[in-house]
Homo-oligomer: A and B are copies of this chain.
Amino acid sequence: MQTYKAPLRDMRFVLHELHDSTALTQLHGLEEVSPDLMDSILEEAGKLAEEVLLPTNTAGDEYGCVLENGVVRTPKGFKEAYDAFRDGGWTALAADPQYGGQGLPESLNKLIEEMICSANLSFSLYPGLTHGAYQAIAAHASDELKDTYLPKMVAGTWSGTMCLTEAHCGTDLGMLRTRAVPQPDGSYKVSGSKIFISAGEHDLTENIIHLVLARLPDAPKGTRGISMFLVPKFIPTADGRPGVRNGVICTALEHKMGIKGSATCQLTFEEATGWLVGEPNKGLATMFTMMNSERLSVGIQGLGAAETSYQSAVAYARERIQGRSLGGVKAADKAADKAADPIIVHPDVRRMLLRMRAYTEGCRALGGWVARQLDVLERSNDPDARRQAEDFTALMTPVVKALFTDLGFEATNLGMQVYGGHGYIRDHGMEQLVRDARISMIYEGTNGIQALDLVGRKLPQGAGRLLRTFFHPVSEFIERHRNHLLLGQMVKGLEKAFGALQLATAHIAAAGMADPEEAGAAASEYLRLFGLVALGFMWTRTAVIAVEKLAKPDADAGFYKAKLTTARFYMERVLPEVAGLLTAIKAGKRAMMDMEEAAF
Indicate with 1 or 0, residue by residue over A429-466, a CB within 8 angstroms of chain B CB atoms: 00100110011011100111001100000000000000
Interface assignment of A171: CB less than 8 Å from any CB of chain B: yes
Q: How far is the CB of A69 from chain B (nearest CB, A)?
A: 22
CB contact under 8 A between A598 and B568, given known A339-B175, A517-B327, A591-B573: no
Q: How far is the CB of A335 from chain B (nearest CB, A)?
A: 11
Which B residues are CB-close (under 8 A) to A317? 600
Cross-chain contact of A580 among B318, B327, B448, B578 (Cβ < 8 A): B578
A255 touches B171 (CB 8 A): no
Which B residues are CB-close (under 8 A) to A172? 321-323, 339-340
Can you list 13 pairs linking A and B with CB atoms under 8 Å apart?
Answer: A170-B420, A175-B322, A175-B339, A175-B340, A257-B426, A264-B425, A326-B517, A345-B597, A354-B591, A569-B591, A572-B591, A573-B591, A579-B579
B593 touches A584 (CB 8 A): no
Indicate with 1 or 0, residue by residue over A517-535, a CB within 8 angstroms of chain B CB atoms: 1011101110000000000
The CA of A442 and the CA of B352, in the complex, are separated in Å by 14
Which B residues are CB-close (under 8 A) to A448? 348-349, 352, 417
Q: Copy number of this protein in the oligomer?
A: 2
CB contact under 8 A between A344 and B424, given known A434-B257, A591-B573: no
Residues of chain A whose beta carbon lies under 8 Å from any beta carbon of chain B: 165, 168-172, 174-175, 195-196, 254-258, 264, 314, 317-318, 321-323, 326-327, 339-340, 344-354, 357, 409, 413, 416-417, 420-427, 431, 434-435, 438-439, 441-443, 446-448, 451-452, 515-517, 519-521, 523-525, 558, 561-562, 565-566, 568-569, 572-574, 576-581, 583-584, 587, 589-600
CB contact under 8 A between A421 and B354, given known A327-B516, A565-B591, A583-B579: no
Interface residues of A: mostly helix, strand, loop or mixed? helix
Which B residues are CB-close (under 8 A) to A452? 348
Question: Known pairs A175-B339, A568-B591. 14 more at Cβ < 8 A?
Answer: A257-B431, A258-B424, A327-B516, A345-B597, A348-B520, A417-B441, A421-B443, A424-B439, A424-B442, A431-B438, A566-B595, A572-B584, A573-B587, A579-B580
The CA of A342 and the CA of B174, in the complex, are separated in Å by 15
The CA of A569 and the CA of B357, in the complex, are separated in Å by 32
The CA of A353 and the CA of B36, in the complex, are separated in Å by 51
Which B residues are CB-close (under 8 A) to A323? 171-172
Which B residues are CB-close (under 8 A) to A515? 327
Which B residues are CB-close (under 8 A) to A562? 595-596, 599
The CA of A168 and the CA of B340, in the complex, are separated in Å by 11
B592 touches A354 (CB 8 A): yes
Which B residues are CB-close (under 8 A) to A592? 347, 350-351, 354, 569
Q: Which of A352, A420, A515 has the most CB of B within 10 A?
A: A420
Which B residues are CB-close (under 8 A) to A426? 255-257
The CA of A598 and the CA of B315, in the complex, are separated in Å by 11
Which B residues are CB-close (under 8 A) to A340? 172, 174-175
Q: How far is the CB of A245 from chain B (nearest CB, A)?
A: 28
A595 touches B520 (CB 8 A): no
A344 touches B597 (CB 8 A): yes
CB contact under 8 A between A442 and B421, given known A348-B524, A524-B348, A569-B591: yes
Which B residues are CB-close (under 8 A) to A596? 558, 561-562
Which B residue sits closest to A310, measured CB to CB? Answer: B600
Q: How far is the CB of A600 from chain B (nearest CB, A)?
A: 5
Q: How far is the CB of A336 from chain B (nearest CB, A)?
A: 14
The CA of A353 and the CA of B599, in the complex, are separated in Å by 12
CB contact under 8 A between A351 and B521, given known A340-B175, A600-B357: yes
Which B residues are CB-close (under 8 A) to A175? 321-322, 339-340
Which B residues are CB-close (under 8 A) to A558? 596, 598-599
Q: How far is the CB of A541 from chain B (nearest CB, A)?
A: 18
B171 touches A523 (CB 8 A): no
